[in-house]
Chains A and B, each alone.
Chain A
Amino acid sequence: MENILDSALSHTQTLTTQNAETSQEAAWVAASQRGDAVSFNRLVLKWERPIYNLSLRMLRDADEAAEATQEVFLLAFKGIRRFRLDAQFSTWLYRIAANHCTSRLRKRPPGVHLSLDGSQEGTEAGQSLAAAECPEREFFRQETDHKVRRALEYLQPEQRIIVELKFFQEMTFEQIALVVEAPLSTVKSRLYHGLEILKIRLGRGAARDQAITGGR
């Protein structure tokens, strides 16, 4: 009984925090629309990490991702007056980022694939600490990261953005449909096609295990 009460209290606190964050974000957006750059930079601080990582996974180049992220925030800053307060700021911002990255990918000459080397991967203090604590786990994690990022290269830009929004930004199908401005059926179709390709590229190890175990 006590556990249930604790859980309910925790859920209520989470909802209250989310509501407070949403209203705080709405206030920053409204202030930004009035030309307050400080409020907009608060929004930048909140969203720069997901937007940068979206750009990085889409573009596969750290410098280009940083440049694209800066351009996305600049575009958002210039267009904030056109943003309607009844919509979600994150959806609008992701739409700008998705369109910008897809546009950049389309402008690339065919056959050009940039790839990240180890030096461009994250060197966050926490990660370094983790690597120091368990070097093997960190090695496998980096290996998997590398594999997934390479597998993502095989997806079309339209599929890649949906995989990105679904798995890395953890959006629902409806939110993704709003971001990419496409019907729900199109979003699902692109996601399942993308998953099929990722399964082929990443699922070899599991398939091999399955062959060894005889599908038991």
Chain B
Amino acid sequence: MKTTCEEVRNWVPRALMGDLAPQEEQALNTHLAECPACSGEQRVYVDTLSQVRSVSDSPIPRHFFVYPDERRSSVMEFLRGLAPGWKVAASLAVLTVAVSAGLMATRVQFRVEQGIYTFSFGRPLPASVPTEDSAAEIQALRAELTGLLAAQSTAERAEWMNALRQQIKESNRYGARQQQQWNAALKNLETRLNDRVEDSAVTLTAGMEQSASNVFRALQRQRQQDLALTRTRLEHLATRGELKDQETDEILSTLLQVARLPEK
């Protein structure tokens, strides 16, 4: 495999550090034997390393001894050196101490009474009410309030009942008045209806009588006309019958004549 100059130039420092695989080193040496430019690059690196390695150590200006009292580390250094669990514990302890000191410095007072939290910074807490007395007082107040409420409730109920009764009475009176008015109106309506019925009956009777006479007269006239027409028709029929009879007689005489003829 042909190696490029770029590859070789990457290999040169690695070869000088002993960090090249044997195959790569062989390929490098082959290439360097043929390529003056890469060979020159190698010489530059060799010269550089030679210069770096030629630097000598400087003498120390003094000794750097340490003394036992220098071992005393600060609190932070001590905490830094602790295991995580101890660090947390130490932090909590410091926090507790700090909070307690802060509370003491502010002279804070604290009280929980019947679920009420009371804090005071520097001043005394207000006197608390004795629990038994306050309970009895509350009971008495509750009884008084209940009595007042009951009395008020009874009075209100009576008042409400009176008002209701009054309203019912008024409502009844109004109903009676209404009923009377309705009765009067009904009687009036009945009278008027009777009158009107009677009038109608009279009118109807008169009308009926009139129409009956009219019908009668019309029927009579029609009867007379029909009789006249019938008479005319009868007369006509009679006339026609006579004619027919004559014709018949003639036909019969003819026939007889025919019959009487000798059959010669």
Do A and B assemble together?
Answer: yes
- Give which listed residue, A56, A82, A188, A210, contacts B44 with CB less than 8 A: A210
CB of B117 closer than 8 Å to a CB of A: no
B residues less than 8 Å from A127 (CB atoms): 56, 59
> Nearest residue in B to A42 (C-beta to C-beta)?
B65
Shortest beta-carbon distance, A161 to chain B, in Å? 14
Q: A41-B65, A44-B65 are in contact. Are A74 and B70 (CB under 8 A)?
A: yes
> Nearest residue in B to A193 (C-beta to C-beta)?
B13
Q: A74-B70, A147-B51, A216-B36 are in contact. Are A199 and B45 (CB under 8 A)?
A: yes
CB of B221 closer than 8 Å to a CB of A: no
**Chain A 94-140 interface residues, beta-carbon cutoff 8 Å to B:** 121-124, 127
Cβ-defined contact, A202 with B52, below 8 A: yes
Cβ-defined contact, A78 with B65, below 8 A: no
Q: A37-B68, A149-B55, A206-B43 are in contact. Are A49 and B60 (CB under 8 A)?
A: yes
> Nearest residue in A to B80 (C-beta to C-beta)?
A79
Cβ-defined contact, B71 with A70, below 8 A: no
CB of A30 closer than 8 Å to a CB of B: no
Q: How far is the CA of A55 from the CA of B13 in the complex (A)?
A: 26
Shortest beta-carbon distance, B85 to chain A, in Å? 16
A residues less than 8 Å from B39 (CB atoms): 215
Q: How far is the CA of A123 from the CA of B77 in the complex (A)?
A: 38
CB of B126 closer than 8 Å to a CB of A: no
B residues less than 8 Å from A167 (CB atoms): 49, 52-53
CB of B114 closer than 8 Å to a CB of A: no
Q: How far is the CA of A166 from the CA of B49 in the complex (A)?
A: 11
> Nearest residue in B to A142 (C-beta to C-beta)?
B56
Q: How far is the CA of A69 from the CA of B63 in the complex (A)?
A: 10
Cβ-defined contact, A168 with B58, below 8 A: no
Q: A122-B56, A173-B19 are in contact. Are A52 and B37 (CB under 8 A)?
A: no
- Give which listed residue, B43, B53, B70, contacts A77 with CB less than 8 A: B70
Shortest beta-carbon distance, A61 to chain B, in Å? 12
Cβ-defined contact, B66 with A74, below 8 A: yes
Shortest beta-carbon distance, A204 to chain B, in Å? 9
- Give which listed residue, B17, B19, B64, contacts A73 with CB less than 8 A: B64
CB of A21 closer than 8 Å to a CB of B: no
Cβ-defined contact, B44 with A203, below 8 A: yes
CB of A182 closer than 8 Å to a CB of B: no
A residues less than 8 Å from B133 (CB atoms): none
Cβ-defined contact, A168 with B62, below 8 A: no
Cβ-defined contact, B81 with A79, below 8 A: yes
CB of B61 closer than 8 Å to a CB of A: yes
Shortest beta-carbon distance, B47 to chain A, in Å? 4
A residues less than 8 Å from B68 (CB atoms): 35, 37
Q: A147-B51, A206-B43, A215-B37 are in contact. Are A122 and B70 (CB under 8 A)?
A: no
> Nearest residue in B to A62 (C-beta to C-beta)?
B61
CB of A207 closer than 8 Å to a CB of B: yes
Shortest beta-carbon distance, A170 to chain B, in Å? 9
CB of A45 closer than 8 Å to a CB of B: yes
CB of A28 closer than 8 Å to a CB of B: no
**Chain A 56-83 interface residues, beta-carbon cutoff 8 Å to B:** 56-57, 62, 66, 69-70, 73-74, 77-79, 81-82
Given contacts A78-B71, A199-B48, 15 further A-B contacts (CB under 8 A): A35-B68, A44-B64, A52-B61, A53-B58, A57-B55, A62-B58, A69-B64, A147-B51, A173-B19, A192-B14, A203-B45, A205-B47, A206-B44, A209-B43, A214-B36
User: Could you list 8 A-B pairs, sorted by A, with CB under 8 Å?
Assistant: A49-B59, A53-B58, A77-B66, A78-B73, A122-B56, A148-B51, A168-B55, A214-B36
